[in-house]
Chains A and B, each alone.
Chain A
């Protein structure tokens, strides 16, 4: 017994000595900047006027490390952010009713305002340039990040700073409402042969069900125009399932993880047997780019419009417990032929610029489709 306690004490002392020498080395040699960090903690404790607990400093460090990745899509989620994100995933989320177009990573423009939505009631107008959301500058958090910030629990508030003309700045405080934006809209256009025009606004759990409704019309049409303009993406699974309608049997997308592990999503496909034209623009992003790239790679349709946004990375959300979470970019995706579109976008087969109010891109699409039908 006495021997045991002696051994215990000696090992404790040896451990302490080892630990202290380690601390000393870290502090002196500034190993990996750990010495600096220790100094910062000591200064915060000893000098900062405002008292701060070690716990909040540690949480601050966690958040700071995620920010250090300089990845606009990765985020340390505090209790408030995390709850909001979970609501969004479960489909209980509100919005302000804006249809947004991303000009570039730093530009977010109002493409349309839904009738009766909070944005319309407050007076946000088509063409307004959004410069900040909740006080965060779009140039700092990227257009996609800003668009995400507008979503949140129904009844909660979001503030927008908007530039109307060059110097005409407006501030709006909007209360989020449940927005019923259909994921898919469609109509028949006669050119004079009947063709199906299908617009996918975003990819959600409802996309495939809504898409199948329009599919029932297909036997009657001679061609399909798939409009993916200003589609910011959404659910990866929905995009893959939707791809099943347009692609032949085979891969839709490959996910590549950090360790080089690959995951390939495939579809049985083979449902479409009329010519297909896909409309894209700078606002076509993420899941919408997956679909467009797959159509291009498999030559299932002609891509026309302008170069797409170029978001080729996928995020995973981790629950860290204590109501906090971590959203981390964990994979990039490659098109069926292995192309990486991140920060590059998809180059359309036929480049057509959007001009003013007239939909020149759709007009061009219908013209090309007519040529292909005959």
Chain B
């Protein structure tokens, strides 16, 4: 990077100074700049030469691989294709599952995901059953909803591919795609006892990440579920809370179960409702030990009794929020130990639309504890009852699971 900087600056210096100097002085300046430039060049070349010599074995093998692919591999390969592959390989050499090179297509997908927007059919899958693709619900007014796909339908085929042979993640990717394109879904409907086939046109789907309601059967408890942190989650939370406030809740249940995290700033701003004003929510520490303190943008601490539901799938940004509430003792954590992802990724944009996502920092909770690979122990440990499933948000008292029941019980003692 420095090389570019130097070549850039020379004409600039000459233009600025050229008129004021005598010829000999101008020559001196020129000579000086030239000397610095030459010294710099020699230094860079020397460093590169040193690196080459110290990695001679590795580089030699790489040159052999390039040579063999060029001469012996059956099909012709472009240099760009190889270098893109090399970049993927370089990032993979970290051995960190969260660090990846993103080609232009993957980079775009990543951003759509962070923004909570993508082309899809609008099906929310249930997490209850990891062997079947069970429709938890179609998003209201989405293509799937209008086509007539119903909650409880089991997706058995996507574009004629049997879903039992592919992972859930792959199935989700197959259903997503460019807006306007079509996907054929075959679902098994228990009530009809047969397979139904739907051809659905994908649309831009934006998934709500926050849902709130007054808890069924309790007119004084607000229930808020955050399913993930997209870049708009804090604004969605603002809306949900302002909708709930006229109902005068005396306590809040914040359900962060199955929240895998997402955007850091959204989590920090969301914490503003739950931790004392002006206090740090999280510390981000980079490889050199530099520490960044993150505080919410606004002072909006609610001061209400709060219980937070967490489980083994509460991860990353959701652990930042839970960790802050635990450390400031502004709420009680109920459920099971959280996932333990205490590292932060940064996405760097490269040229041509590609990017690289790297694990660049770890985070510490307000009490400076590192939860990576450890998770957060809840204040009150409660497992789900056998055969119980989590319904978020619960539609009626009959949907309440053991963790939620405990949360209500604990919250009542604090209200």
Residues of A within 8 A of B79 (CB): 32
Which chain A residue shows the least CB distance to B359? A49
CA distance A36 to B343 in the complex (A): 25
The interface bits of chain A over 50-67 (1 if a CB of B lies within 8 angstroms of the residue's CB, else 0) are: 111011111111111111
B358 and A43 form a contact (CB under 8 A): yes
User: How far is the CB of B370 from the nearest CB of chain A, in Å?
Assistant: 12
User: How far is the CB of A311 from the nearest CB of chain B, in Å?
Assistant: 13
Q: How many residues of B contact A (CB 8 A)?
A: 76
A55 and B58 form a contact (CB under 8 A): yes
Interface residues on A, range: 35 or more
Residues of A within 8 A of B75 (CB): 69, 71, 258
CA distance A151 to B76 in the complex (A): 31
User: How far is the CB of B43 from the nearest CB of chain A, in Å?
Assistant: 8
For A17, A34, A65, which residue has the most chain B Cβ atoms within 10 angstroms?
A: A65
Any chain A CB within 8 A of the CB of B13?
no
Residues of A within 8 A of B76 (CB): 258
CA distance A318 to B350 in the complex (A): 34
Any chain A CB within 8 A of the CB of B89?
yes
A328 and B42 form a contact (CB under 8 A): no
A65 and B351 form a contact (CB under 8 A): no
A49 and B343 form a contact (CB under 8 A): yes
Residues of B within 8 A of A309 (CB): none
Any chain A CB within 8 A of the CB of B415?
no
Restricting to A208-238, which residues have a CB under 8 Å from any CB of B? none
Restricting to B312-370, which residues have a CB under 8 Å from any CB of A? 343, 346, 348, 350-352, 354, 356, 358-362
CA distance A191 to B107 in the complex (A): 65
Any chain A CB within 8 A of the CB of B141?
no
Any chain A CB within 8 A of the CB of B83?
yes
B165 and A107 form a contact (CB under 8 A): yes
CA distance A258 to B75 in the complex (A): 7
B346 and A47 form a contact (CB under 8 A): yes
Residues of B within 8 A of A40 (CB): 87, 90-91, 101, 350, 356
Any chain B CB within 8 A of the CB of A28?
yes
A58 and B350 form a contact (CB under 8 A): no
The interface bits of chain A over 136-177 (1 if a CB of B lies within 8 angstroms of the residue's CB, else 0) are: 010100000000000000000000000100110100000000
B82 and A65 form a contact (CB under 8 A): yes
Any chain B CB within 8 A of the CB of A92?
no
User: How far is the CB of A372 from the nearest CB of chain B, in Å?
Assistant: 39
Partner of B58, one of A20, A59, A166: A59
User: How far is the CB of B102 from the nearest CB of chain A, in Å?
Assistant: 11
Contacts A66-B69, A69-B77; A49 near B287 (Cβ below 8 A): yes
Any chain B CB within 8 A of the CB of A116?
no
A328 and B90 form a contact (CB under 8 A): no
User: How far is the CB of A181 from the nearest CB of chain B, in Å?
Assistant: 27
DSSP class of B's interface residues: helix, strand, loop or mixed? helix
B81 and A68 form a contact (CB under 8 A): yes
Which chain B residue shows the least CB distance to A39? B350
Partner of B351, one of A35, A64, A166: A35
A320 and B58 form a contact (CB under 8 A): no
Partner of B83, one of A15, A34, A169: A34
Any chain A CB within 8 A of the CB of B64?
yes
CA distance A47 to B346 in the complex (A): 9
User: How far is the CB of B97 from the nearest CB of chain A, in Å?
Assistant: 12
Which chain B residue shows the least CB distance to A67? B85
Residues of B within 8 A of A27 (CB): 1, 3-4
Restricting to B122-168, which residues have a CB under 8 Å from any CB of A? 131-132, 164-167
User: How far is the CB of B395 from the nearest CB of chain A, in Å?
Assistant: 27
User: How far is the CB of A78 from the nearest CB of chain B, in Å?
Assistant: 11
Restricting to B56-93, which residues have a CB under 8 Å from any CB of A? 57-62, 64-66, 68-69, 71-77, 79-93
B73 and A258 form a contact (CB under 8 A): yes
Partner of A60, one of B90, B131, B356, B358: B90
CA distance A236 to B350 in the complex (A): 45
A residues whose Cβ falls under 8 Å from a Cβ of B: 12-13, 15-17, 19-21, 23-24, 27-28, 30, 32-37, 39-44, 47-52, 54-69, 71, 74, 76, 106-107, 129, 131, 137, 139, 163, 166-167, 169, 257-259, 313, 316, 318, 320-322, 324, 326, 328-332
B residues whose Cβ falls under 8 Å from a Cβ of A: 1, 3-4, 7, 37-38, 40-42, 44-46, 48, 51, 54-55, 57-62, 64-66, 68-69, 71-77, 79-96, 99, 101, 131-132, 164-167, 170, 286-287, 343, 346, 348, 350-352, 354, 356, 358-362
Given contacts A15-B45, A54-B54, A65-B82, 5 further A-B contacts (CB under 8 A): A49-B287, A66-B69, A139-B166, A318-B64, A328-B69
Query: Please, could you name 6 A-B residue pairs with CB atoms under 8 Å apart, sorted by A?
Result: A20-B40, A37-B83, A60-B86, A63-B92, A320-B64, A326-B65
